[in-house]
């Protein structure tokens, strides 16, 4: 929670400065889209990002850039942290002593990471291919 909060404030502090000028990959239009996205989906994003490797690192930073309200951010950040910790405790309790998990721990970890990456990859591909058909 503390790391995400720091990341949020870094995004809030750096974000506007980066978007003052238009660069090839950093445009004011992207900031506006980010702001409207976080107004609509910010809470869900902060909660679910915890469960997706790589995205969990950048979601708080982008929330700061997108000027998500800090009170709303910290509320969803605490809920997301609680859900994340609880889910791992419950999964560890029920699956930690299974012989298959003990004997194939590395494989299980790779499987979990692979499964957690599938939803954003699916959404990216869906967005990419449906956008071209319109």
107 three-class SS: helix
pTM, 2 dp: 0.71
Instruction: Determine the pLDDT at residue 71.
Output: 96
3-state secondary structure at position 34: helix
**pLDDT value at residue 126:** 86
SS3 52: coil
Given a contact cutoff of 8 angstroms between Cβ atoms, the answer to whether 28 and 19 are in contact is yes
Helix (H, G, I), strand (E, B) or coil at 23: coil
The per-residue pLDDT for 84 is 93
pLDDT (tens digit per residue) in 79-121: 999 999 999 899 889 988 899 988 999 999 899 888 888 888 8
Cβ neighbours for 119, distance < 8 A, ≥ 6 positions apart? 52
Model pLDDT for residues 8-36, shown as the tens digit of each residue: 999 999 877 777 776 666 677 776 777 77
Q: Where are the domains of the chain?
A: 2-95, 99-134
Angle, helices 55-65/2-18, rounded to nearest 10 degrees:
50
């Amino acid at each position: 929670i503390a790391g995400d909060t720091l990341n949020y404030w870094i995004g809030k502090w750096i974000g506007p400065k980066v978007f003052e000028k238009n660069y090839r990959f950093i445009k004011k239009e992207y900031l506006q889209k980010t702001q409207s996205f976080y107004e609509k989906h910010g809470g869900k994003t902060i909660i679910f990002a915890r469960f997706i490797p790589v995205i969990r690192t950048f979601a708080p930073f982008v929330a700061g850039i997108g000027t998500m309200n800090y009170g709303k951010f910290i509320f969803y950040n605490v809920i997301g942290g609680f859900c994340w910790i609880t889910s791992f405790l419950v999964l560890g309790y029920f699956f930690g002593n299974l012989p298959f998990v003990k004997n194939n721990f590395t494989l299980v970890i790779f499987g979990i990471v692979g499964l957690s990456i599938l939803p954003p990859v699916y959404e990216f591909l869906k967005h990419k291919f449906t956008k071209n058909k319109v």
